[in-house]
C-alpha cells in the first residue's frame, strides 16, 4: 500500500473526481480563517484535487472545496456543537461528517459524526490521519456501512 500522499494520489486517481475549483492562492487563507494549520497530507490532497469526490469499492467520500470549508462549518454549526477544535472537511455523501479532531493536540485525528446529532460523545475516530483514511477507503476497511454506526 502506498505510504506518501503523492503515491496515494497516483493510486486514487481512478476513483477520485477532483473539483474544478482548485485553490489558486494555496491554502494559507483557509488556515488563517481556521486559526490552525491543516495536516500536511490533507493539504497536499486539497491542493491536487480542490476537494471533489471519490467512489471507492465499498464507500463514498466527498471533500469540500477549500473555499467552502469555513462557510459549511458555520452553516452546519460544527464548532457550536463540537467545539472550536473540530473542523469538518467533508462527508460520506450523506449524513456523516468527516472532521479533523484537534482536541488531542496539534496533529488531528480523523473523526466521523452524524450531521443530525453533532455531539462529541457521538464522534468516532476512523483514522489517525488523512493518508490512513484514504488507504482505508481504498482497501475497503471503511465502507458506507461502517464509517459511522
Q: Is the pLDDT of residue 149 over 80?
A: no
Q: pLDDT tens digit string along 66-95?
A: 999 999 999 999 999 999 999 999 999 999
Q: Is the pLDDT of residue 126 over 90?
A: yes
Give dist(CA 81, CA 76) in Å, integer.
9
Q: Is the pLDDT of residue 1 over 60?
A: no
Q: What is the mean pLDDT of residues 35-50?
A: 94
pLDDT class of 2 with cuts at 50, 70, 90? low
Nearest to 148 by CA among 61, 39, 18, 45: 61
Grid cell digits, residue 34: 481556521
Note the pTM of the prediction, 2 decimals. Answer: 0.93
* Alpha carbon distances (Å) from 54 to 15, 19, 108, 133: 5, 11, 22, 12
Contact 98, 115 (CB under 8 A): no
Amino acid at each position: 500500500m502506498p505510504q506518501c500522499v503523492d503515491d496515494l494520489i497516483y493510486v486514487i486517481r481512478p476513483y477520485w473526481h477532483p473539483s474544478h475549483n482548485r485553490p489558486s492562492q494555496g491554502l494559507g487563507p483557509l488556515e488563517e480563517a481556521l486559526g490552525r494549520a491543516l495536516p500536511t497530507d490533507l493539504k497536499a490532497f486539497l491542493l491536487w484535487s480542490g476537494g471533489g469526490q471519490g467512489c471507492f469499492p465499498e464507500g463514498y467520500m466527498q471533500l469540500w472545496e477549500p473555499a467552502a470549508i469555513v462557510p459549511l462549518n458555520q452553516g452546519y454549526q460544527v464548532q457550536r456543537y463540537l467545539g472550536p477544535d473540530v473542523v469538518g472537511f467533508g462527508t460520506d455523501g450523506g449524513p456523516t461528517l468527516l472532521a479533523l479532531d484537534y482536541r488531542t493536540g496539534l496533529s488531528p485525528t480523523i473523526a466521523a459524526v452524524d450531521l443530525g446529532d453533532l455531539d462529541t460523545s457521538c464522534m468516532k475516530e476512523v483514522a489517525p490521519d488523512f493518508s490512513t483514511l484514504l488507504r482505508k477507503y481504498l482497501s475497503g476497511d471503511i465502507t458506507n456501512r461502517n464509517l459511522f454506526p
